Amino acid sequence: MICINNVCYEVVEEQRDGFNEEAFRARYSEILARYDYIVGDWGYGQLRLKGFFDDQNQKASFDTKISTLTEYLYEYCNFGCPYFVVKKMKNQKLAEAQSDNSVLDG
């Protein structure tokens, strides 16, 4: 679990060791907090982040639905590039994760 500015995310997909927490924190922008998912892809040593919505989210246009991830990767990312997908944790799931961590810590 990664928390930035009181918004927590969990890595739900990672290809070719694409996730680097330090780089994610450095590139993260507050505007990304509105999205349900963030996709990070690497090209030429640079991490690029793009937000996507859950398919049922009313704010989602066709191109910003997470179901279009495969098309995004094919069209906008370098072939075979390392990438990752993080999902924003809902409040209930976040509370459960924090509870589990406190049990493990205690």
Give pLDDT tens digits for 55-105.
Answer: 999 989 999 999 999 999 999 999 999 999 999 998 745 555 555 554 444
Here the CATH number for the domain that contains residue 17 is 3.50.4.20
Euclidean distance between CA atoms 51 and 65, whole angstroms: 9
- Name the DSSP class of 57: -
Tens digits of per-residue pLDDT, 39-58?
999 999 999 999 999 999 99
Q: Identify the CA nearest to 20 among candidates 82, 73, 69, 80.
A: 82
With 50 as the cut, is the pLDDT of residue 33 above it? yes
Q: Which residues of 47-77 are buried (b: 16+ CB within 10 A; e: fewer)?
A: bebbbbbeeeeeebeeebbbebbeebbeeeb
Q: For residue 43, what is the enclosing H or E element?
A: strand 37-43
Specify the pLDDT at position 102.
47
- Is the C-alpha dihedral spanning 86, 90, 93, 94 positive or negative? positive
Total structural domains within the chain? 1
Range of the domain at 42: 2-105
